[in-house]
Amino acid sequence: MSDTTRKLSVELSSAEREELARIVRQQSFGTAKQRRARILLLADANHPDGR
């Protein structure tokens, strides 16, 4: 059985962050894809707001 409490570190480059932000902003992407993009942006260790 795997350890379900393990947390992974997410470190996005500025280009990756911009691409994910574009996916979140545009309505042409599916809801699930937008949700995953939003989660990755919030999980980013290099988040500009220091989150």
Q: Is 24 exposed, middle or buried (0-12, 13-18, 19+ CB in 10 A)?
A: middle
DSSP symbols for 11-33: ---HHHHHHHHHHHH-TTS-HHH
Other Cβ atoms less than 10 A from the Cβ of 44: the count is: 19
What pLDDT sits at residue 5?
Answer: 64
Could you give the CA distance from residue 14 to residue 6 in angstroms, rounded to a whole number? 26
| pLDDT at residue 1, as a whole number | 47
What's residue 4's pLDDT?
59
pLDDT of residue 45: 87
Q: What is the pLDDT of residues 1-51, one digit of tens each?
A: 455 565 788 899 999 999 999 999 998 999 999 999 999 998 898 877 755
Give the model's pLDDT for residue 18: 95
